[in-house]
Structure 1
């Protein structure tokens, strides 16, 4: 498991549950991406009624200044600007009667909007 940026500098941790890793790896494979190089990008962007929201997408490879985390065979890429908002977070995959999807448990959040789609630190 790597918790280093591409330049070898140590970074705060991001955790990924086994359920989230399995789901993301299945999706990466369906997209035809090489899971040894490609990964899931987790980022924070401006938006939502609370001010910030999470974003996720698949990337072919990490950017030069990304922190790279490897959990259960899934590579997760986080840019430096996003890392300050989500360090210490856990990415999980939830499946239930109402909804199914990825969820970020972020210890830095001080408030969330009513729908849970955006947050403030």
Structure 2
């Protein structure tokens, strides 16, 4: 399902969208029909953590944020936690990964993948 508010759900940097596109293609998925699911789960050192999964079939209740390079899929339960967040790609000497700047997080773990 494509939700009218989904464009306001989160933003995706060009670097993050490009990296998601590359990951989808390398795993044999078509970035126009598949996507990266961002969900929030209980756990992590700050109480909640982000999870990234590749999906080919969004569920009817999912929110789909389409970009020219990749689709980001968020379930409705996780949407309350990521609304307004910015997803970016971070390259450091220790590796490359996605980072989420989340205005809803009261505190974040040093790894950036866990929040409260």
Q: Using structure 1 for the length normalisation, give the TM-score.
A: 0.87
Which residue in 1 is equivalent to 2:48?
52
Q: Which runs of 5+ in 2 are unaligned?
A: none
Q: Which runs of 5+ in 1 are unaligned?
A: 1-5
RMSD: 1.6
CA gap of 1:8–1:83, structure 2 versus 1, over 3 A, is closer
CA drift of 1:8 comes to: 4.7
CA drift of 1:7 comes to: 6.5
More displaced, 52-61 or 111-120? 111-120
**1:101 alignment partner, SS class:** strand
Q: How many residues align?
A: 115
**1:29 alignment partner, SS class:** helix
More displaced, 94-103 or 108-117? 108-117
Q: Give the whole-Å Cα distance in 1 for the aligned partners of 2:112 and 2:41.
A: 15
Q: Which has the higher helix share?
A: 2
Matched-pair contact (CA < 8 Å) for 1:44–1:53: yes
